[in-house]
Structure 1
Amino acid sequence: MQIEVHGLSKRYLREWIFRDLTHTFQPGSATAILGPNGSGKSTLLNTLSGQLLPSQGMLTYSWQGKPVAVDDVPRLLAYCAPYLEVVEELTLTELLHFHTRFKPLRPGLTPQKLIELMYLENSRHKLVRDFSSGMKQRLKLALALYADAPLLLLDEPTTNLDRVGVAWYLEHAHATIAERTVLVSSNVPEEYEFCPNRLNVTDFGARAAR
Structure 2
Amino acid sequence: MNEYILRTHQLSKKYRNDIALVDINISIKKGEIYGFIGQNGAGKSTMLRIATGLVFPSNGSIELFGNDNPNKLTEAQKRIGAIIESPALFPNMTARENLEVHRLHKGIPGKDCIRKTLELVGLSDTGKKKAKNFSLGMKQRLGLAISLLSDPEFLILDEPTNGLDPMGIVELRKLIKKLNREKGLTVLISSHILSELHQLANHYGIIHKGELLEEISAKELDEKCRQHLRIKVDQPAKGATVLETSLSTANFEVMPDGTMKLYSHLDEVRKVSKALTENGLIIEHLAQNGDSLESYFSKLVGGEEHA
1:10 alignment partner, one of 13, 33, 36 = 13
Relative to the length of structure 2, the TM-score reads 0.57
Rounded Cα–Cα distance in structure 2 between residues aligned with 1:121 and 1:175? 17
**1:61 and 1:69 in contact (8 A); partners too:** no
Per-residue deviation, 1:11: 1.3
**Is residue 190 of structure 1 aligned with residue 221 of structure 2?**
no
- SS in structure 1 opposite 2:31? coil
1:125-173: CA deviation from partner (whole Å, max 9, x where unpaired): 1222332333211211233357511111011111232222212111111
Query: How many pairs are equivalent?
Result: 202
2:151 equivalent among 140, 144, 148? 148
- CA separation of 1:205 and 1:120: change in aligned 2, threshold 3 A: closer
- Gap regions ≥5 residues in structure 1: none
Q: Distance in 1 between matches of 2:72 and 2:199?
A: 31
- Give 2:166's aligned amino acid: R
Query: Residues 134 and 55 of structure 1: is their aligned pair in 2 closer, same or farther, counting only changes over 3 Å?
Result: same
Indicate whether 1:161 and 2:164 are aligned: yes
- Match of residue 80 from structure 2: 77
Deviation at 1:193, TM superposition (A): 2.8
Aligned: 1:201 with 2:217 = no
Provide TM-score, normalisation by structure 1.
0.81
Closer, same or farther: CA 72–198 of 1 in aligned 2, 3 Å: same
Query: What letter corresponds to residue 79 of structure 1 in structure 2?
Result: A
3-state SS in 2 of match to 1:148: coil
Distance 1:13 1:183 in 2: 28
Over the aligned positions, Cα root-mean-square deviation in angstroms equals 2.9
Letter in 2 for 1:62: F
Partner of 2:282: none
Q: Match for 1:187: what amino acid? A: H
2:51 to 45, 48, 53: 48
Distance in 2, Cα, partners of 1:5 & 1:16: 17
CA distance in 1, matches of 2:59, 2:96: 43
Q: CA deviation at 1:24?
A: 2.5
Of the structure 1 ranges 93-102 and 117-126, higher mean CA displacement relative to structure 2 is found in 117-126
Q: In structure 2, do the counterparts of structure 1 residues 196 and 122 end up closer, same or farther at CA, with 3 Å as the change threshold?
A: closer
Pair 1:22 & 2:25 matched: yes
Q: Distance in 2 between matches of 1:79 and 1:167?
A: 20
Contact 1:33 1:186 in 2 (8 A): yes
1:93-141 Cα offsets, whole Å, 9 max, x none, are 2122333342869xxx753354445444553212223323332112112
Bigger RCO (CA 8 Å, 6+ sep): 1
2:138 counterpart of 1:135: yes
Give the greater-gyration-radius structure (CA). Answer: 2
74-83 or 37-46, larger mean C-alpha shift: 74-83
Between the two proteins, what is the percent identity of the paired residues? Answer: 27
8 A Cα contact 2:158 2:189, kept in partner: yes
What is the CA-CA distance between 1:33 and the residue it aligns to? Answer: 1.0
Answer yes or no: is the 8 Å Cα contact 2:22–2:211 preserved in 1. yes
Structure 2: state its 5+ residue gaps.
213-307
Following superposition, the deviation at residue 46 of structure 1 comes to: 0.9
Spell out, residue by residue over 1:23-78, the C-alpha distance to the aligned partner (whole angstroms, 9 max, x if none): 32222222111111111111111112222100110112226x89781211342111
Distance change >3 Å, CA 192–CA 142, structure 1 → 2: farther
Q: Distance in 1 between matches of 2:131 and 2:75?
A: 29
Tell me the secondary structure at the aligned position of residue 48 of structure 2.
Answer: helix
